[in-house]
Amino acid sequence: MANTRKATRIGIMTGGGDCPGLNAVIRVVTRAAIHQLGIEVIGIEDGFLGLIRNRMRHLTSDDVSNILTVGGTILGTSNRADPVRFAIGKDASGMPIFEDVTPRVLEHVAERGLDGVVCIGGDGTMTGAAALIKRGLPCIGVPKTIDNDMLHTEITFGFTTAVQTATECIDRIHSTASSHHRVMLVELMGRNAGWLTLHAGLASGCDILLIPEIPYDLDAVCEACERRSKRGKRFTLIAVSEGAAPKGGHQTVEKIVHDSPDPIRLGGVSTVLAAQISERTHLETRATILGHVQRGGTPVAFDRVLATRFGFKAIELVAEGAWNQLVVQQNGHTSTVPIESVAGRQRTVPLDDPLIAMARAVGTAVGD
């Protein structure tokens, strides 16, 4: 969507789960907008919640100094606020009551004089942005997620840092697995996509990789552990995605957050599997859930550069009046697609992905 009217003031927000590299985007968008385009930048606090509650603040070049290497987001974030379906209270049974508060958001945008909003986030944030676009709020999307599951982009910033962090953690568990002769399961994030587990598992030399795209056979997993034991390999290292599920079974749900746009929170599959493997094989088995350590910390150099590239492209779109686009990387080059084309969708690992073939080639089991 092109808008010939020159933007004079834009908002910027970070939504969904945090990840390394968010501050790098905030930095380049703010500085390029101010110094190159003469545009004012308004920081929206805590994602869509800031638009709903009118929590915004003016950003200067000094405000974004020295944040390139800082993890998380200086603006804060939220994964519970959806303007179209916002929890305003609870009914008699304790369940949330939802209301469409988009008109309130548009009032706040008009009050602040925003010509559009740069939305940094994953598929959930882009789903929210797509809804606001339909109500007349111009948006530009910048893709972030450690899950790497955004459609139409080869990579998202935050992913590479998460892979590095997860790999280092698995390396440490590798040494204790060897010392104690145990089957060690390491549970990684990723929701319904196995990219993080696949990359970190291969990088750390795991013996078994379990991802959501390939339902696992418990018998096959146990046989792989016993086969290693019989060959004199006195430990087995298993990387398992939180979204992995057995053949004919269901994903392991840790809890349901009823007032969230994405209420189902996966987790605990490694604990379930550890008990099953121990019972069947009589091998000492332990499970470690990495959890939010995968989201934190300083972004690696690759993510800092990628986030800066994406953020700079977003400002170029603002300058062109090319709103309602998502910045993506395709064939190694920065490009764009309509935000609505990624709303409510996820990019999962295809079964013919070369990394799966590589895993099999080096003798790594994938649970089937």
Across the range 338-346, mean pLDDT stands at 94
| Shared domain check, 328 and 276 | no
Q: Does position 76 have pLDDT exceeding 90, yes or no?
A: yes
Confidence of residue 3 (pLDDT cuts 50, 70, 90): low
Q: What is the pLDDT of residues 238-254, one digit of tens each?
A: 999 999 999 999 999 98
Q: What is the mean pLDDT of residues 56-68?
A: 97
> Does any domain span residue 240?
yes
Task: Give the span between the Cα atoms of 200 and 168, in whole angstroms.
Answer: 9
Domain, as residue range, for 225: 162-294
Residue 66: partners with Cβ closer than 8 Å, 6 or more residues away = none
Query: What integer is the mean pLDDT of 281-290?
Result: 94
φ, ψ (nearest 5 deg) of residue 184: -120, 125
Same domain? 169 vs 150 = no
pLDDT confidence of residue 185: 97
Q: 297, 245, 238: which is closest to 267 by C-alpha?
A: 245
pLDDT digits (tens, 9 = 90+) for 157-209: 999 999 999 999 999 999 888 877 789 999 999 999 999 999 999 999 999 99
CB 268 within 8 Å of CB 252: yes
For residue range 201-234, what is the model confidence (pLDDT) as tens digits?
Answer: 999 999 999 999 999 999 999 999 999 888 878 8
Catalytic site residue from 46, 115, 147, 259: 147
Residue 235 lies in a domain: yes
Q: Can you tell me which residue has the tokens 């295809």? A: 350
By C-alpha distance, which of 166, 146, 165 is closest to 155? 146
The widest CA-to-CA distance across the chain, in whole angstroms, is 71
Same domain for 134 and 147? yes
The whole-number average pLDDT for the span 1-20 is: 85
**Contacts (Cβ under 8 Å, ≥6 apart) of 52:** 81, 83, 86, 101, 104, 105, 108
Statement to judge: residues 25 and 121 lie in one domain: yes
| 34 lies in some domain | yes
Residue 56 has pLDDT above 70, yes or no: yes
How high is the pLDDT of residue 44? Answer: 98
Question: Where residue 271 sits, what CATH number does that domain have?
Answer: 3.40.50.460
The pLDDT of residue 4 is above 60: no
Which helix (DSSP H) or strand (DSSP E) does residue 367 occupy?
Answer: none
- Tell whether 276 and 311 lie within a shared domain: no
Same domain for 79 and 200: no
Average pLDDT over residues 111-130: 96
How many independent structural domains does the chain possess?
2
Q: What CATH number does residue 330 fall under? A: 3.40.50.450
- At 134, the pLDDT band (50, 70, 90 cuts) reads very high
184 dihedral zone (left: phi>0; alpha: psi -120 to 50; beta)? beta
Residue 88 and residue 16 share a domain? yes
Q: Is residue 3 part of a domain?
A: no
Query: What is the average pLDDT across 302-324?
Result: 97
pLDDT of residue 1: 46
Residue 153 and residue 80 share a domain: yes
Altogether, the residues listed in the chain come to a count of: 368
Domain-embedded: residue 366 = no
DSSP bridge pairs for 327: 336
Are 198 and 100 in a shared domain? no
Q: Which of 294, 327, 352 is the last residue of a domain?
A: 294
Instruction: Judge if 194 and 153 occupy the same domain.
Output: no
The pLDDT, as a whole number, for residue 233 is 82
Model confidence band, residue 79 (pLDDT cutoffs 50, 70, 90): confident
Instruction: With cut-offs at 50, 70 and 90, classify the pLDDT of residue 42.
Output: very high
Residue 53 maps to a domain: yes
Give the pLDDT confidence score for residue 73 in this predicted structure: 97
- The fraction of the chain above a pLDDT of 90, given in percent, is 85
171 classed as catalytic: no
In a domain, 361, yes or no: no
Same domain, 229 and 317: no
What does the mean pLDDT of the chain come to?
94
In a domain, 207, yes or no: yes
Boundary residue ending a domain (262, 278, 294): 294
Instruction: State whether 211 and 258 are in the same domain.
Output: yes
Q: In sequence order, which residues have a C-beta less than 8 Å from that of residue 105 and are 6 or more positions away? A: 48, 51, 52, 83, 132, 137
